[in-house]
Amino acid sequence: MRHQKKTIKLGRTAEHRKALLANQVCSLIEHQRIKTTLAKAKAVRPLAERMVTLGKNGSIHARRTALATLRQKNAVKKLFDDIAPRSAERNGGYTRIVKLGQRKSDSALMAFIEWVDMAEVVEERPAEEKKAKRKEAEPKPQRTEPERAEPKKEEPAAKEEKPAVAPAPVEEAKPKKRRWFSRKSSAEK
C-alpha cells in the first residue's frame, strides 16, 4: 500500500522528474501562468509554494536553497524580488490550478497553473499579426444597393446617383493539359 507516499512520479526517473518540476516552476515564475497537464500542475504546485516560502524568508541561505533547486539565477532573482513580496501577507495557497478540459490529440486533462495574486497584465499573443501574414484579400466591389442603416442628411436637395459599376467579367479557367508519364493524352493530339 502507498500510504504516506505523496510523490507524484509522472512516469519518470527521480532526476528527470526533479529537472522537469524545476523547469516548470522557472517557467511559472517567468510567465506568471503556464499551461500543462493536470497531473504535472498538481506536482508543480507544492514545489512552487515552497519556493515562495523561501522567497518570503529572504535570507542568503534561502536564496541559495532556491538556487540549488531551480538552477536558474534569473528565476530566483525574480522570485525573491517580485513574487515573494506580493505574497507577503498570505499564509500559503500562492498558486491556483484552473482546469481546461481534454487535449485534442491524446485526451490528457489540461490545466493552467498561475499565481493567485499575479499581475494584471498577462502576456497575450497579438492576433493581428497572424492575419497580417496571410495574403491580402481583393477589394470588395462597391455596393449598388443603397444603405438602409442611416439616410444622408448633408445634401438632401442635390442627390447624385452614381452609375452602377459592373464587376469585371471573369475569364473561365482553361482545362489543364496533363501529361501522365510523358504520354500525350487523347485531347492533345
Please report, rounded to a whole number, the percentage of residues in the chain having pLDDT higher than 70: 65
Measured at the alpha carbon of residue 171, what is the angle toward residues 183 and 182, in degrees to the nearest 5? 5
Report, as an integer, the average pLDDT of 140-144.
68
**Is 183 in a helix, a strand, or coil?**
strand
- Above 60 in pLDDT, residue 98? yes
pLDDT of residue 104: 95
- Euclidean distance between CA atoms 83 and 41, whole angstroms: 18
Report, as an integer, the average pLDDT of 36-53.
97
Report, as an integer, the average pLDDT of 103-110.
96
> Which triple of cell numbers denotes residue 128?
493581428
Looking at the whole model, is its pTM more than 0.95?
A: no
- Which of these ranges, 18-22, 49-53, 163-167, has the smallest mean pLDDT? 163-167
- Above 60 in pLDDT, residue 184? no
pLDDT of residue 159: 56
Q: Report the chain's mean pLDDT, rounded to a whole number.
A: 83
Report, as an integer, the average pLDDT of 22-35.
97
- Euclidean distance between CA atoms 63 and 120, whole angstroms: 27
Please report, rounded to a whole number, the percentage of residues in the chain having pLDDT higher than 90: 59
Q: How confident is the model at residue 6 (pLDDT cuts 50, 70, 90)?
A: confident
Residue 89, classified by CB atoms within 10 Å of its CB into exposed (0-12), middle (13-18) or buried (19+), is: exposed
Q: Whole-angstrom distance between the N-terminal and C-terminal Cα of the chain? A: 82
